Structure 1
Amino acid sequence: MSTYLVGDLHGCYDELQLLLQQAQFDATQDELYFTGDLVARGDNSLECLRFAKSLGQRGHTVLGNHDLHLLSTALGIKKVKARDKVDAIFAAPDFSELMDWLRQQPLFIHHEKLNFTLVHAGISPDWDLSTAQQCAKEVEAVLQSDHYADLLKQMYDGNPDRWSPELTGIDRLRYIINVFTRMRFCYADHRLDFDCKVPLDQAPTELMAWYQCDNPLFQTENIIFGHWASLVDTPTPSNIYALDTGCAWGNRMTLLRWEDKRYFVQPSLNATTD
């Protein structure tokens, strides 16, 4: 049995299947982990959702910002964007089943036996591993409850931008969601920045990648994440694995086999430019 981890799909189902063929992935024996953002921008978001769900116990995904946004649009909280190309999901006979499955997925996966942690965007510079686990569970409990719509209605805000254990209510939940699904850059004092989306080497000097902050966890834990397509080909520390390589934006999809750290790459077949 092998363990595979793949970067953001963003609806690029055909590239995923070619990548799995290349790696000789066996759905009856191997396990596949997704970095989140299964949907939006590529042409086949419905197929990506169905495939991830079909893997059952051999498939694992964390939630990304586009996945949460899909749940929000499914409830009518936000309007569907034409560029997201998700109309087929809304027209699918298994639409409700897929949405229920999606909101049951975690924000954070820690695999103690294989020694890795999987998130979509990152981990707060102010958290240790146990705090990150607990914070994820707090949001997951709400998303999996009957009151999840209330949370989705209030998640679209960048504040608070700094962690405090004293945070409560929606401020606490929003900060947790933003860290796990939206974060890229931080200031030296650990405040989050959501305005800068440029490649790391083009960022203002006062900003740093979240994993460059002074948190011992970032030096000791193997952390796998997606979300940040403009990091493609940017070196990261040996224990930090950035797997979103921008397939939906004309670049490539990347798959990592964990046991031998071998990478498999599939170029984009059908790029979108917006």
Structure 2
Amino acid sequence: QWLMANESRCRIVLGNHDLNFLAVAAGIRKCKPDDTLQPLLDSPRRKDFIEWVRHQQLAHFDDGVLMVHAGVLPQWDVAMTLAYAAEVEYRLQSRDWKAFLSQMYGNEPAQWRPDLKGTDRRRLTVNALTRLRFCSVSGLMEFQTKEGAGKAPSGFLPWFAIPERRSRDQTVVFGHWSTLGLMNSPRVIALDTGCVWGGALTAINLVSRELLQVASHRPGKVS
């Protein structure tokens, strides 16, 4: 509700859990035991929450910084990333958003091809921007491994470590990967430090690179 009230001061990108909220609210998926969606679903402002989430971006670019939830395929530059994200955003904001969500889930196609179109391209875009951790040089995504960067399966690398990645000349800020932890390198900033697992909530000043961390209220550890 704070984000909704301060929308003019914030730029938000959707992640896998936000899309899961929409799918559950639409009756396409069921809540999992570890989901924390019930307060939103039971709220008298449920419709407001759904409409607000549906109208957020999947990728945002400003002043040399690209922000996504999870990752960017090595074949995509910033313009391609924003264009493919916009295709998904258009569907989410349309009257047919529930139909789009019903077609969104699945791991295939897992590899980028320039000739992808329609539902296949939109599904791949969602998976790249909201789920990606490891991929191959050719843009094949690997969805099973959730450990840190040092646990890359054979033939795969962390998406940001792919040589000649086309977005490498821009700074990319992302989260999603709690087992990766904090990264604050010149062109790659990873901010998921496992708050929901008992780690910290981390923010960064993009100008000074100063970090701000707040301890989690939840016991546990990043795993």
Q: Among residues 183, 206, 230, which one is paired with 2:155 in the alignment? A: 206
- Partners in 2 of 1:227 and 1:188 — Cα distance? 21
Aligned equivalent of 1:68: 19
Displacement of 1:204 in angstroms is: 2.5
Name the structure 1 match of 2:78.
129
Where 1:162 maps in the other structure, the secondary structure is coil
Give, in angstroms, the shift of residue 161 of structure 1.
1.1
Alignment deviations for residues 77-117 of structure 1 (CA, whole Å, 9 cap, x no partner) = 000123112211111111101100001000010003xx211
- Determine the C-alpha separation between the residues in 2 that align with 1:165 and 1:189: 12
2:37 maps to: 86
The corresponding residue for 1:254 is: 202
1:1-274 equivalences under 5 Å are 50-112=1-63, 115-233=64-182, 235=183, 237-271=185-219
The percentage of counterpart residues that share the same residue type is 32
Aligned length: 222
Measure, in 2, the Cα distance between the counterparts of 1:179 and 1:219: 16
CA distance in structure 2 between the aligned counterparts of 1:171 and 1:205, rounded to whole angstroms: 26
Contact 1:135 1:176 in 2 (8 A): yes
Q: 1:272 to 1:72 in 2, by over 3 A?
A: farther
Label 1:272 to 1:87 Cα distance change in 2 as closer, same or farther (>3 A).
Answer: farther
* Cα pair 2:196 2:218 within 8 Å, conserved: yes
Q: Find the aligned partners of 1:150 and 1:215 in 2 and give their Cα distance.
A: 37
Determine helix, strand or coil for the equivalent of 1:76: coil
Comparing both chains, which one has the higher relative contact order based on Cα–Cα distances under 8 Å and sequence gaps of 6 or more?
1
Q: 1:191-230: per-residue Cα shift (whole Å, max 9, x none)?
A: 1100111111122342200011133434310100010011
Aligned Cα root-mean-square deviation (Å): 1.6
Letter in 2 for 1:142: R
After superposition, the Cα gap between the structure-2 partners of 1:142 and 1:244, relative to the gap in structure 1 and judged at 3 Å, is same
User: For the residues of structure 2 that align with 1:120 and 1:132, how far apart are their CA atoms?
Assistant: 12
Equivalent residues of 2:103, 2:119 under 8 A apart: yes
**Partner Cα distance (2:88, 2:153) in 1:** 32
Structure 2 residue identity aligned to 1:59: C
* Distance of 2:3 and 2:47 partners within structure 1: 16
Q: Which runs of 5+ in 2 are unaligned?
A: none
Q: What TM-score do you get using the length of structure 2 for normalisation?
A: 0.94
- 1:242 CA drift (Å): 0.1
Point out where structure 1 has 5 or more consecutive residues left out of the alignment. Answer: 1-49
Checking the alignment, whether the CA contact within 8 Å between 1:185 and 1:192 is kept in structure 2 is yes
Question: 8 Å contact 2:74–2:137 — kept in the other structure?
Answer: no
Check whether the contact 1:163–1:175 (CA below 8 A) recurs between aligned residues: yes
Report if the CA contact (8 A) 1:247-1:271 is conserved: no
Letter in 2 for 1:120: H
Q: CA deviation at 1:185?
A: 0.2
